[in-house]
Structure 1
Amino acid sequence: MGKKLYKSSLDRKICGVCGGFAEFFGIDATILRLLVVLFTLAGGSGVLFYIVAALIMPDEPEYY
């Protein structure tokens, strides 16, 4: 079974988008957060990406 992309429920600052991408790709979420800020300052595309991803990505399922 392959990996699925979810918003992170543990590593979240706003909606868990960067934490979810970090878990999926196996990298540090801080790097992704810095990239989003960089793209936002470079032309505003970071905000658009984050909003679209927050709306489209499903929440991580809770396991009991």
Structure 2
Amino acid sequence: MSQKLRKSSTDKALYGVCGGVAEFLGISSFVVRLIFFFTSSVSVWVYIILVWSLDEKPSL
């Protein structure tokens, strides 16, 4: 079964985008949040696009 990039339903700070990216890549969501923070000039737009385009991960 292939993994699909989705917003996290459990690891949410705002919309679950960083948590979903972290689950997809298999790394800590803290690391993803740090990357988004240090690249904020570009990542703000990427984050907004991901909030609108990613599906919510179904909760179990």
Q: TM-score range by the shorter chain?
A: over 0.9
Equivalent position SS for 2:46: helix
Matches of 2:27 and 2:49, distance apart in 1: 21
Runs of 4+ in 1 over 6 A off after TM superposition: none
Q: Which runs of 5+ in 2 are unaligned?
A: none
Look up the match of 2:58: 61
Look up the match of 1:48: 45
TM-score, structure 2 as length reference: 0.93
- Does the alignment pair 1:23 with 2:23? yes
1:14-43 deviation per Cα after TM superposition (whole angstroms, max 9, x unaligned): 000000010011100000101101111xxx
Q: Which runs of 5+ in 1 are unaligned?
A: none
**What is the CA RMSD across the aligned residues, in angstroms?**
0.8
TM-score, structure 1 as length reference: 0.88
